[in-house]
Chains A and B, each alone.
Chain A
């Protein structure tokens, strides 16, 4: 069974640029969630996708957007990068959506915005 994978592992961008982060869900999982984890903080929920549609969104501006593909891989896009966007971005998949479901996390992509 393949776990959740993310790419790239590290990324450096400059303020104002755009970035795309990628995630491959665990086999058989049709739900993916994205989180932002600042240094020393807990993960902050960005949004969740289920069957290619957004199923919930946290308190993040519209410049954070996502896509989920039929093969259940997904992308997180961030436009107009700001210095505060520097963080670890985590992807997590689950079998189905729902508050009781266990999420399986990937190792994360560390983004640095200069």
Chain B
């Protein structure tokens, strides 16, 4: 079946450091790829998405590129802030006899001042 693998957390960084959170996937179809973020005490919200190979999703300084050849969708940000502390979920969805989304386990990011 489909699966999403994210790097284990927590990831701990100092403010203004460079962030990478790795995400790789396996999928039977041609998936759309997503990053969702869950801030403390809040529900999940979409951070960015990409729907075809080589597309780059971007939002709030975060970027991720859909790499079909390496089945990856790594999340990056050039300079993190304390307010970026949250749990980040990589997800994919395919339409295979109905809608089937798959989420990774989440990666906790802690940014220190």
- Report if A and B associate in a common complex: yes
A42 interfacial by beta-carbon distance below 8 Å: yes
**B98–A42 touching, CB < 8 Å:** no
A61 interfacial by beta-carbon distance below 8 Å: no
B113 → A minimal CB distance (Å)? 26
* Interface-central residue, A35, A42, A43, A54, by most chain B CB under 10 Å: A42
Chain B 32-75 against A: per-residue CB contact (8 Å), 1 yes, 0 no? Answer: 10101000001111100101000000000000000000000000
> Bound state CA distance, A104 and B34, in angstroms?
13
A25 → B minimal CB distance (Å)? 14
Interface size in chain A (residues, C-beta < 8 A):
28
A65 interfacial by beta-carbon distance below 8 Å: no
Main secondary structure, interface of B, reads strand
Interface size in chain B (residues, C-beta < 8 A):
27
Q: Which of chain B's residues 87-103 have a Cβ closer than 8 Å to chain A?
A: 89, 91, 93-95, 97-103
Query: Which chain A positions have C-beta within 8 A of B105?
Result: 40-42
Taking A45-B102, A55-B98, A58-B100 as contacts, is the C-beta distance between A100 and B32 under 8 angstroms? yes
**B44–A90 touching, CB < 8 Å:** yes
A65 → B minimal CB distance (Å)? 16
A70 interfacial by beta-carbon distance below 8 Å: no
Chain B interfacial positions (CB closer than 8 Å to A): 4, 31-32, 34, 36, 42-46, 49, 51, 89, 91, 93-95, 97-106
Chain A interfacial positions (CB closer than 8 Å to B): 4, 33, 35, 40-45, 48, 54-58, 90, 92, 97-100, 102-108
